[in-house]
Amino acid sequence: MALSLAEVEHIAELARLRLTEAEKAQFQEQLSAILEHAAVLQSIDVSAIPPTATVLPLHNVMRADEVRPGLSQAAVLSNAPDPYDGFFRVKTILEHE
Amino acid sequence: MASGDIAYETIIGLEVHAQLLTASKMFCGCSADYAAAPPNTHVCPVCMALPGALPVINRLAVEKTIRAGLALNCTIAGHTLFARKNYHYADLPKGYQISQYELPLCHSGWLDIEAEGAARRVGIARAHLEEDTGKLTHMGEAAGDTRLSAGRGAATLVDLNRAGIPLLEIVTEPDLRSPEEARAYLVKLQQILRYLGVSSGDMEKGAMRCEANVSIRPVGQTQFGTKVEVKNLNSFRSVKLALEYEVARQIAVLEAGGRVVQVTMGWDEEHGRTVVQRSKESADDYRYFPEPDLPPLEINPAWVAELRAALPELPDARAARFAAVYALDERDAALLAGERATADYFEATAAALGGTAPAARTAANWITGELFRLMKAAGVEIEQVQVGPAALADLLGRVERGEINANSGKRVLGQMFETGQPAGRIIDELGLAQVSDADALAAAVDAVLARYPDEVAKYRAGKESVLGWLMGQVMRETRGKGNPALVRALLAKALEG
């Protein structure tokens, strides 16, 4: 289950990581090894087991529709590097650029 | 759609996002009423995605989604999951949106619509629950814009008040065949969401948003053409205009021997055209996976049955009942049933007038005529009208009984609408009470006949059209207050004598 270099580049792009050529080769090898491990699990016959999304014995954990106080604006923005007039200010990035 | 030698068929599917009317957000207790709030004041560790914060599902949002699903004839899932939709954007603090992917809450429904005189059943592929994103304001690079940091180029302001508002996404099958059908579907969907109290459906305020997938194919071809996604459809009007524009554009591309490319377009309202936002060459890769922070929902069929039993009568059923029970014409019935508040107002007025079919038709005529005209001129909705159903019925009763004539009735309604005063007081103040006193009216008739002997002679010589003119003179003599039927009878009698 070896990943191609193009697949590694695509995954890096989705994660917004800029990799050097050496890193790409390194991650190609490491990610492929992880997938090989997953392939071992894939080989188990689970056709008789219903798909499950969680191993917790919980369901229907819900809350009533009640308003609770949140944080103050000052607290919300206290870690923002460049707040402006109550907003977070960030560099403009066009969608899926 | 025909052009050149080939006739084309239009295929449209719609994706609608509607904010649910809840007090708190989808996964935390922050207030969902953010419209007038200063930025970043309805925010907590959950909706700003601080490490370690855990979401908890808002039960009312689930309930409202199920109610919408039932009204759209959907199957309600017994087992349903939330999923993470992963992408990076500044309006999404977590780096993923909690949505649903496999196993949506509602699926496989339909909605019947009517457009251009034809009925169509539109399939509802799914209706699922997710969270809204934050609001971004992009700042221009114009010099002197103080909202820009020096030398940093274009900036974006982020407000997370909207992040985490419960959002209902409703996706149709590609069943719509014209821009007009798409518009009719949206109007109907908005009516239903409002009837249920599930969403305000207000497109101007962004509480209901629409995206469309559009393709064309030669008539008779079974395979779909390449679809184009059109975004930024923020009103019924822009939905129709954008789709008409896009269909014409695609036909022109094919007619010129080209091929339609799969892209995402945005509707440019100002210039009335669709413009490419991004190409689909690198397909979306959202890497959905089940949300590990939220245990699954097992929807109890008894809960669904309870919600189904409590559904209100929906607009179509109500319009059909109005037409059947009160013998209203279909157009008036649909007009009155379209908004729940209007339908309630009509029924309350009709009931106060006695509840008979003729009383209901009187109420319907006045509401769809005079009252709607006043509301439109004042730019108000029925909820803001100062004249309640009982007050309107009181006025209409006075007109029916001949206390005032219909023209005066309109004047009185106008005053009631302005001032909120009851009909009786306005009639007294304006001195509009209709004169039905035969002696007083006979005196007015005599005065007019004495004043216009030539016209009287013409009438007696056989020119019957003069009667209407004489009638007008007598009404003028009574300053519009004469009971018209009585005046006509007295006039006829006097002319014969």
Q: Mind giving me the DSSP string for B271-340? A: TTEEEEEEESSS------EE-TTS--EE--HHHHHHHHHTPPPPHHHHHHHHHHHH---HHHHHHHHSSH
How far is Cα A95 from Cα B98, in angstroms, rounded to an integer? 19
Percent of chain B surpassing pLDDT 90? 71
Of the candidate CATH numbers 1.10.10.410, 3.40.710.10, 1.10.10.10, 3.55.50.30, the domain formed by B438-496 belongs to 1.10.10.410
Q: What pLDDT, on the 0 to 100 scale, is given for residue B3?
A: 52
Contact: A76, B48; criterion CB under 8 Å: yes
Residue B423, number of CB atoms within 10 A of its CB: 25
Q: Which residues of B touch A60 (CB under 8 A)?
A: 295, 297-298
Q: Does B94 score more than 80 pLDDT?
A: yes
Question: Mean pLDDT over residues B402-412, rounded?
Answer: 86
Interface test with A, best of B19, B40, B80, B89 (most A CBs within 10 A): B40
Percent of chain B surpassing pLDDT 70? 95
The Cα of B389 is separated from the nearest Cα of chain A by a number of Å equal to 33
E strands, B332-427, in order: none
Q: What pLDDT, on the 0 to 100 scale, is given for residue B142?
A: 45
Contact of B81 with chain A, judged by CB distance below 8 Å, is answered with yes
Average pLDDT, chain B: 91
What radius of gyration, in Å, describes the C-alpha atoms of chain B? 30
* pLDDT tens for each residue of chain A, 97 residues long: 689 999 999 999 888 899 999 999 999 999 999 999 988 988 899 999 988 888 888 999 999 999 999 999 999 999 999 999 999 999 887 654 4
Interface test with A, best of B80, B135, B157, B265 (most A CBs within 10 A): B157
Q: Which residue of A has its CA nearest to B38?
A: A86
Q: What pLDDT, on the 0 to 100 scale, is given for residue B428?
A: 83
Nearest to B362 by CA among B326, B388, B331: B326
Contact present, B186 and B147 (Cβ < 8 Å): no
Q: What pLDDT, on the 0 to 100 scale, is given for residue A18?
A: 93
Positive or negative: CA dihedral A53, B19, B157, A96: positive
Task: Tell me how far CA of residue B199 lies from CA of B3, B339, B344, in angstroms.
Answer: 40, 13, 19
Question: Mean pLDDT over residues B455-459, rounded?
Answer: 89
Q: Which residues of A touch B56 (CB under 8 A)?
A: 61-63
pLDDT digits (tens, 9 = 90+) for B160-173: 999 999 999 999 99
Q: Which residues of B touch A85 (CB under 8 A)?
A: 39, 147, 157
Question: Mean pLDDT over residues B248-254, rounded?
Answer: 95
Interface test with B, best of A61, A68, A79, A94 (most B CBs within 10 A): A61
Q: What pLDDT, on the 0 to 100 scale, is given for residue B69?
A: 98
Residue B437: band (very low, low, confident or very high) from pLDDT cuts 50, 70, 90: confident
How far is Cα B224 from Cα B153, in angstroms, rounded to an integer? 43
What pTM was computed for the model? 0.84
Q: Smallest Cβ distance to A89: which of B153, B157, B297?
A: B157
Contact: A70, B149; criterion CB under 8 Å: no
Q: Does B148 score more than 60 pLDDT?
A: no
The Cα of B150 is separated from the nearest Cα of chain A by a number of Å equal to 12
Q: What pLDDT, on the 0 to 100 scale, is given for residue A51?
A: 83
Q: Does B46 score more than 80 pLDDT?
A: yes
Q: What pLDDT, on the 0 to 100 scale, is given for residue B495?
A: 85
Q: What pLDDT, on the 0 to 100 scale, is given for residue B427?
A: 87
Please give the single-letter amino acid code of residue B246: E
Q: Does B141 score more than 70 pLDDT?
A: no
* Domains of chain A with bracketed CATH: 5-42 (1.10.20)
How far is Cα B353 from Cα B363, in angstroms, rounded to an integer? 8
* Cβ within 8 Å of residue B127, ≥6 positions away: B65, B68, B69, B72, B74, B104, B105, B106, B107, B109, B168, B169, B170, B171
Strands B297-298 and B96-99: unpaired
Q: What pLDDT, on the 0 to 100 scale, is given for residue A96?
A: 46
Instruction: Give residues 316 to 355 of B whose Cβ lies within 8 Å of A.
Output: none
Burial class, A42, CB count within 10 angstroms (exposed 0-12 / middle 13-18 / buried 19+): exposed
Q: Which residue has the higher pLDDT, B129 or B152?
A: B129
- Choose the weakest-confidence range: B85-94, B276-285, B449-458, B487-496: B276-285
Q: What pLDDT, on the 0 to 100 scale, is given for residue B192?
A: 97
Contact present, B385 and B375 (Cβ < 8 Å): yes
- Choose the weakest-confidence range: A63-67, B41-45, B115-119: B115-119
CA B260 to chain centre: 34
Interface test with B, best of A84, A85, A94, A97 (most B CBs within 10 A): A84
Q: Which residue has the higher pLDDT, B233 or A52?
A: B233
Residue B147: band (very low, low, confident or very high) from pLDDT cuts 50, 70, 90: low
Q: Does B143 score more than 50 pLDDT?
A: no
Residue B283: band (very low, low, confident or very high) from pLDDT cuts 50, 70, 90: low
Q: Which residue has the higher pLDDT, B313 or A51?
A: B313
Q: What pLDDT, on the 0 to 100 scale, is given for residue B404?
A: 83
**What does the domain layout of chain B look like in residue ranges?**
2-306, 313-430, 438-496
Q: What pLDDT, on the 0 to 100 scale, is given for residue B6?
A: 83
Question: Mean pLDDT over residues B20-31, rounded?
Answer: 98
Question: Mean pLDDT over residues B475-484, rounded?
Answer: 81
Q: What pLDDT, on the 0 to 100 scale, is given for residue A42?
A: 86
How far is Cα B202 from Cα B17, in angstroms, rounded to an integer? 11
Q: Smallest Cβ distance to B296: which of A10, A54, A77?
A: A54
Contact present, B86 and B96 (Cβ < 8 Å): yes
